Amino acid sequence: MDSIQIGLVVSAGMLVLVFLGMRVAFAAGLSGLVGLIWIFWSRRGYDPEDFLWALTVAVKTAGQVPHSKVSHQALSLIPTFILIGYLAYHAGLTKALFEAAKRWFAWVPGGLAVSTVFATAGFAAVSGASVATSAVFARIAIPEMLAVGYDKRFAAGVVAAAGTLASLIPPSAILVIYAIIVEQDVGRLLLAGFVPGVFSAVIYTLLIVGMAMTMKNFGPPVTGFSWKERFESLPPALPIVAVVVIIIFFVYNPFGGDAWGTPTEGGAIGAFIVFLMALYRGMRWPQLRDALLETAKLSVMIFTIIWGVLIYVRFLGFADLPGAFADWISSLHMAPILILICILLAYAVLGMFMDAIGMLLLTLPVVFPAVMALNGGMNVTAEASTFGMSGTLCAVWFGILVVKMAEFCLITPPIGLNCFVVAGVRDDISVQDVFKGVTPFFIADAITIAMLVAFPWIVLWLPSQM
C-alpha cells in the first residue's frame, strides 16, 4: 500500500471506532499512532527487524504533539471564555439579562421565547460554550415559559436551539479552535462571528413570532410592564455589555490604529471584570469553586479532544491525504459552489454521529485545503478567486459556515449535545421531547446557512474592516 491508501484505511478504521462508541479523542489518538507506525514501517519495506524502530519513531512523533500544539497562546482563550460564562451565571448576570429581555420583548407573540433567544444571545457574548449556555437557561427560562402555558417540548427546544448561538457570537471556543487548526487570525474570526450570530438570533425570533401568530394557544404574550420597569431592568444587565465592549475593543480598535491588545489579553481582562462583579454581587467560595471546577472539566474535555485529534492530524500530514483530497476536489467537473454545498451537507450528516468540536478537528485538516484549492489558493486576489474574495477572507467565510454547521449538529439527533444537556437539567422533560421541540429550528438554521452562502458579505463586512 502507498501512503494515500494507508491514510484511507486508517481514517475508515477511526470512523468505525467512533461509530462503535469510542470517544473521539481516544479513537483519533489511537488511529493516528497506528497510522504513524504503519507509515514509518512501510518506508522500511515492512522488514520485521525495523518494526521496533517504526514504533519508537511513531511514539516520539505522537508524543511531541500535545506540548508543541496545545501550548499555542491562543488556546488559553478557551478556559478564559468558559470561565467568564460560569462566573457571569454565579454573579446573577444571567437572571438580570433574562429579566431585561422579558420586560422589553415579552409583549410580542411568543414573547417569552423571543426573550429567551435575545437573553441567550447576550449571554453568549460572555460565554464561549454552547453547553454552558443551554444549561444555564434551562434553569432560568423554561420554568417561566411553562408557567404561562408554553408546551414543554417547545420551551425546551427554544433553550437548546438558542444555546447554539454561543458557537458563533464572540467569544467562541469553537471559532478559536478553527482558527488554530487552519492557522488563521483569531481576532478576525471572532469578529466575523458577531453579525452572523445576531442574524441567526433574528431568524429564530421571526420563526417564533410566525408560529405564535399562526397557531392557537401558542406562546401567549406577557404584558403589564411599564416603561419605568423596562428602563429599571437595564442597569443590572449592563455589565454584560461592558464585558463585550472590552473584549471587542481589544480584538479590534474601532478608532483606528493598532488593536489595544490580543484576544487572549481581552479575554483575561473580561474574566477579571466578571470576577469582580460576582464578588460585588455576593459570590462566595462555594460558588467560585463550582465555577472553577466546571471550567476545568469542560476545558480538559476540549483539550483532550485536541490532543488526540492532533496526533491523527500529524499522521494525515505524513500520509499526504489532505493534499490528495484537495487535488481530487479541484479535478471535479462541478461548480465550486455546488461542491461547497455538498461539503456542508456532509457536515450535517456527520454531525448526527459526532460532537461538534471533534467533527471539525477531524475533518478540517482534509477539507480546508480542498476549499482553499477551489478558491484558487491562499494568496489570490478577490478578482482572481472563484468565490470573489481573497484567500484570507475565504478562510474566514468558510470558518463561519462550518461553525454554523457545528451549531446545527448540537441539536440534531441522536448526538445533539445541547438537547441532552437541557434534558439533564430538567428531569420532567425527556430528551425525545427536546428533540421534538427543536425541529422547527432546523428550518431556521437551513435558511440562515443558505443566506450566509448566498450573501458572503453578511460574514465578511465586519472582518474586512480590520
Checking if the pLDDT of 257 tops 60, the result is no
- Give pLDDT tens digits for 275-304: 888 888 778 888 888 888 888 887 887 788
Domains of the chain, by residue range, sit at 1-71, 73-297
Contact 316, 28 (CB under 8 A): no
- Size of the chain in residues: 466
253 band by pLDDT with thresholds 50, 70 and 90: low
In percent, how much of the chain has pLDDT > 70?
90
Checking if the pLDDT of 21 tops 80, the result is no
Longest dimension (CA), the chain: 83
Looking at residue 313, what is its pLDDT? 79
Q: Lowest mean pLDDT: which of 37-46, 88-97, 435-444?
A: 88-97
Checking if the pLDDT of 394 tops 80, the result is yes
Q: How far is CA 130 from CA 147, 255, 324, in A?
A: 25, 31, 34
Written as nine digits, the cell of 43 is 518506508
In percent, how much of the chain has pLDDT > 90?
7
194 band by pLDDT with thresholds 50, 70 and 90: confident
Mean pLDDT of the chain: 81
- Give pLDDT tens digits for 111-163: 888 999 998 888 887 776 777 788 888 888 888 888 888 888 999 999 999 88
- Give pLDDT tens digits for 31-49: 889 999 988 888 888 888 8
Looking at residue 308, what is its pLDDT? 82
Looking at residue 78, what is its pLDDT? 76
- Give pLDDT tens digits for 97-111: 888 888 888 888 888
Greatest mean pLDDT among 75-89, 113-127, 297-311, 349-363: 113-127
Q: How far is CA 109 from CA 99, 156, 365, in A?
A: 17, 18, 45
Greatest mean pLDDT among 62-66, 359-363, 430-434: 430-434
Q: Lowest mean pLDDT: which of 82-91, 271-280, 281-290, 436-445?
A: 82-91
Segment 263-271 shows an average pLDDT of: 77
The C-alpha cell 489570490 sits at 380
Looking at residue 74, what is its pLDDT? 64
Looking at residue 423, what is its pLDDT? 85
Checking if the pLDDT of 206 tops 70, the result is yes
378 band by pLDDT with thresholds 50, 70 and 90: very low
- Distance between the two ends of the chain, CA-based, in angstroms? 47
- Give pLDDT tens digits for 209-226: 998 888 776 777 787 788
Looking at residue 207, what is its pLDDT? 92
Checking if the pLDDT of 255 tops 60, the result is no
Q: 13, 185, 221: which is closest to 104 by C-alpha?
A: 221
Looking at residue 464, what is its pLDDT? 77
Written as nine digits, the cell of 165 is 448561538
388 band by pLDDT with thresholds 50, 70 and 90: low
